[in-house]
Structure 1
Amino acid sequence: MTEEKIETPAPEDAIEDFAALLAAHSASSERLQPGQKVSGTVIAVTGESVFVDVGIKVDGIMERKDILDAQGQESVGPGDSVEAWVIGVSPQEIRLSRSMSGSGVAALEEARDAGLPVDGRVTAVCKGGYSVEVLGKTAFCPGSQMDGAALGDADSLVGRTLQFLIIRVENRGRNVVVSRRALLERERLEQLEVLLERLKVNDTVEGRISRLASFGAFMELAPAVEGMIHLSELSWSRVGAADEVVSPGDVVRAKVLAISKNDKGQVRISLSRKQAQGDPWLEAPERLKAGTVVQGKVMRLAPFGAFVELLPGVEGLIHISEMSWGKRINKPEEVLNVGETVSVKIKDVNADARRISLSLRDAEGDPWQDAAQRFAVGATVSGTVESRTQYGLFVSLAPGITGLLPAGVMKNARNAGQYGKLDKGDAVTLVVQNIDSAARRISLAPEGTEAAAMADDKAWKQHASSKAASGDAGLGIMAQALQNAMKKK
């Protein structure tokens, strides 16, 4: 009979196994402490215990009653994720709980010392805060220590069961103070720490708009962790208030501009929604072609013209001289209002300088295009006196079309006295003597007058200079200067 040889582990192996166990226990002790919140996966539910894998070699164990809902049914099962608080650490197990339970002063003090959250039922609104029933005792929660999101309607919290941290236990449990705000802040700091490990400047993130402010909007990056999008970074368009472009609950993408700390150590995350969308001027030359007629929204008025948004963040300028064919415009307010939608013709696109020249009058069509057919030589026309000068009467025949009754022709007319009495705004009927569409000139005469040469060029020059004196020409120079100043600003 041969003896079976029993192999015993070498001393080196035993030392390695013991070192591994010791390292595992040390690691678990360092990583998990009472009062710490952990996430894990349910391994099994047996009897009155729930076994949870919390990511280390030692499993977590919580009582089965922690996973029962209001109807007494298990809310989670094997394979489901669960969050819980560490209430005890030993080499054999990690004791977990969704909240502190029990009753009496000892339970209150244990929860206070371990920093464990407890379930509390808000029973009433009282002076300075709320009465909360916690572990069989009546506690006080100051109004400043309640959930800030619900402070607008204090009565809405009555009857609700929330989680709190116990701040103070005095006089054998007769004076108990709790705080929900402290618990939320602790959870926020934990989430922030995890977020900052992976978040970097220039990253693009996605989140939900949590609240609006006068200076911008706050975006939730993680539970209870927010970043701020300033008004100037919400959109490429001009934004006066955050609710013009976003609403609470909207899911948006944003670019991380900066991560900083203030003097109090508070972390600030600055975000940009518009930069996550890309610069609209990069595609402006492809989408906006010179010569095309497009629609836009009047964003603002200036002494020299109006700025119209053609694409989000892309504006063009209608110079005051491009607003009407029919009348002289002194102020843009005479024909345009902020917020209205207008049709404009694109005259020029300079993407490098971020400038687009627009024309309101060209979008309506050039009235001189068919003037030769509408005002043929010899035709009788009716108009309104626009002005009287030493060279004669300028008569408005149609929007954008003005004719001249020369002083010499008017003087030699049979009823010259009648024409001598005409003034601005008076109606008059005349005959077209000559028309030059290229020069935009029509020469008029009283009915029955023989055709004559085109009126003296000096009259038209005097008429043009009188318009320039009203400010049109000067505004062209001023417009450029103001545009440059606004661009620098």
Structure 2
Amino acid sequence: MNEEIGEEIPEEMENTDSAEESFADLFEAYDKNVSDDVRVGDKISGEIISIGRDAVFVDTGTRIDGVVEKAELLNDEGELDCKVGDVLELYAVSVKGGEIRLSKSVAGGGGLEILQDAYEESIPVEGKVKSLNKGGFDVLLGNRRAFCPISQMDIHYVEKPEDYVGEAFEFLITDFEESGRNIVLSRRKLLEKAVQKARKSFLENLVVGSELTGRVTKLMPFGAFVELTPGVEGMVHISELGWSRVEKPSDVLQVGETVMVKVLGVAPDEKSKQMKISLSIKQTADDPWLSVTDRFKEGDVVEGKVSRCAPFGAFVEIEPGIEGLVHISEMSYRKRVLKAEDVVSPGDLIQVLIKEIDSSRQRISLSMRDVEGDPWAGIAGKYGKGQPVEGTVEKHENFGIFVSLEPGVSALLPKSRIRESSSPGRIEKARPGDTIPVVIENVNVEERKISVGPGDAQDEGEWRRFVPGRDQNQGMGSLGEKLKQALAAKKKR
């Protein structure tokens, strides 16, 4: 039996030694996970480990637990709405004598001494904006009055100060004089610290090609600035605002508008020493030219918006990002077009026919006149040689006068034929819009040319040929007769 006991004792001692070693390992592991580096002003997220009658104890992640006054955690009804296991975010307001005192806000902790410590250690204090004051705001820190200049209330310019009244914020005490009778606050400095921290974290994780949501903060002639996160802005160049042509950023965006953007580039700016972020709005959507032939076919008649005019024609947007060109020669059959602006203006909605699509070169040829119809169709059967018609003067040229026979059909009255009129001066003095009588002389449908003569021509040789029994030589007059007689007499000799 003694031998059995003797054999058992070493086994129990061995188990004890093992337990001690395990406890030591655990303690060492715990010791590695704790930190003594807690300073006044640090923000601590800690779990409630115990609730006493007047205080609440919180795990600070160090060897020393933190303590916060229970009264500071009561809600408006005087009840404690947290329990063991909940995580609180508190500030270290005192670290001394083996004790870490915590506070939800310095103002909640109350005393003048704590406010003095908050000033010296740059600890945030919570205050409620009571009213507007000359140049700023009256703020209550518990029962103590403080002042916050309007320039220190926010990072951005305060447009509506009244919106801040009645709200509670955290502040830094920037001046603490006359034993607390003169306290000046700044919310801006606190926000700037938070922004710098968030900005650093954001830039570390920013990746080219990523798509983000941002807020338009400023519009400039060359583009728009977009805030990606507080303190971080990027710029969308005007060419990247959309697939459609944009003349002014204000035509497509408004300040305060939320937009989706794609990060095109991130590089340090030598002038500002900050990161320059290039953004795009249009690249968050597919390029419409990649699938243009799925939506449009040659011969389609579609409605488009004139985006701009050029000396050679007008550009028409038939859908966002898809522009085609109506050449000046394709604007009208019915009148001669010298300038695109004589027919259309930017912003006009017009019907166009798609003549050709070249998606590889991102070009579409359009026609306005083909939508109207060709007025020369059937013109050969409508006008014949010798037919008298009324024409409207279009314009005078050195070689003659262009006369409109009907919308889209013009004829030329040569200058040499004007002299044959009984009143050539009247024709030459006719203004655009005046009507004159003309006679059809030649119709060339292929070349779209019609020549005419004056409707009151006095060419005796022409009409005398059609008089029966009339000798054509009689048209020479008395001088002609005398010449004829002289020639006959010469032959007799």
Q: Tell whether the 8 Å contact from 1:122 to 1:158 is kept in structure 2 after alignment.
A: yes
**Residue of 168, 173, 195 corresponding to 1:166:** 173
Q: Deviations over 1:182-226 (max 9, x none)?
A: 111112122223323322122122x24253333544444345654
Change in CA separation of 1:341 and 1:105 when aligned onto 2, cut-off 3 Å: same
In the alignment, structure 1 residue 292 sits paired with structure 2 residue 300: yes
Aligned position for 2:349: 341
CA distance in 1, matches of 2:171, 2:136: 14
Query: Distance in 2 between the 1:58 and 1:240 partners?
Result: 64
Contact 2:72 2:109 in 1 (8 A): no
1:421 paired to 2:432: no
1:261 to partner: Cα distance? 4.2
Unaligned runs of 5+ in 2: 458-493
What residue number does 1:397 align with? 405
Aligned mate of 1:99, from 80, 97, 105: 105
Match of 2:252 in 1: 245
1:39-438 to 2 correspondence within 5 Å?
70=76, 85=91, 97-100=103-106, 101-149=108-156, 151-205=158-212, 207-214=213-220, 216-222=223-229, 225-248=232-255, 250-262=257-269, 265-372=273-380, 375=383, 381-387=389-395, 393-405=401-413, 416-418=421-423, 421-422=426-427, 423-425=430-432, 426-430=434-438, 432=440, 435-438=443-446
1:89-125 deviation digits (Å, cap 9, x = unpaired): 89x9987654322233311122234433222233444
Q: Secondary structure at the match of 1:307?
A: strand
Conservation of the 8 A alpha-carbon contact between 2:214 and 2:261? no
For the 8 Å contact 1:38–1:86, the answer to whether it is kept is yes
Cα distance between partner residues in 1 of 2:103 and 2:247: 49
Amino acid at match of 1:152: E
Superposed CA offset, 1:256-291 (max 9, x none): 123344456544433221222243333345444444
Structure 1 letter corresponding to 2:219? A
- 8 Å CA contact 1:209–1:217 kept in 2: the answer is no
Whether 1:13 aligns to 2:25 is no
State the TM-score, normalizing by the size of structure 2: 0.72
- Runs of 5+ unmatched residues, structure 1: 450-489
1:25 aligns with 2:34: yes
Q: Deviations over 1:352-378 (max 9, x none)?
A: 444433333334333223534655778
Local SS of the residue matching 1:368:
coil
Q: Evaluate the alpha carbon distance shift between residue 365 and residue 59 of structure 1 in structure 2; reply closer, same or farther with a 3 A threshold.
A: farther
Number of aligned residue pairs? 441
The structure-2 alpha-carbon separation of the partners of 1:411 and 1:266, relative to structure 1 and needing over 3 Å to count, comes to: closer
Deviation sequence 1:376-408 (CA, Å, 0-9, x none): 778764320234568765321223211245678
RMSD: 4.4
Question: Equivalent residue of 1:236, what SS?
Answer: coil
* 1:20 CA displacement: 0.6
Q: Is the 8 A contact 1:191 1:225 kept in 2?
A: no
CA distance in 1, matches of 2:246, 2:51: 55
For residues 395 and 119 of structure 2, what CA distance do their matches in structure 1 show? 91
Tell me, what secondary structure is at the counterpart of 1:106? Answer: helix
Distance 1:392 1:345, change over 3 A: same
SS in 2 for 1:417: coil
Native 8 Å contact 2:218 2:226 kept in 1: no
CA distance in 2, matches of 1:283, 1:59: 65
Bigger drift between 385-394 and 182-191 goes to 385-394
Q: CA deviation at 1:248?
A: 4.7
Once structures 1 and 2 are overlaid, which stretch shifts more, 138-147 or 122-131?
122-131
Q: Which protein shows a greater Rg?
A: 2
The structural deviation recorded for 1:155 is: 4.0
